[in-house]
Amino acid sequence: MKIRVGFGYDVHRLVEGRELWIGGIKIAHSLGLLGHSDADVLIHAICDALLGAANMRDIGYHFPDTAAETDGIDSKVLLRKTVELIATKGYSVGNIDATICAERPKMNPHIPEMKRCMAAIIGIDEDDVSIKATTTERLGFTGREEGISAYATVLIEKA
Task: Name the binding residues.
Answer: 10-12, 36-37, 44, 58-60, 134-137, 141, 144
ω before 105 within 30° of 0 (cis)? yes
Gap between the Cα atoms of 150 and 156, Å rounded: 19
Q: What is the CA radius of gyration of the chain?
A: 15
DSSP H helices, 88-131, are: 111-122
The annotation places the binding site for a divalent metal cation at 10, 12, 44
Backbone angles phi, psi at 145, to 5 degrees: 60, 35
CA 61 to chain centre: 16
DSSP state of 139: -
| Helix, strand, coil shares, percent, the chain, to 5 | 35, 30, 35
DSSP state of 130: E
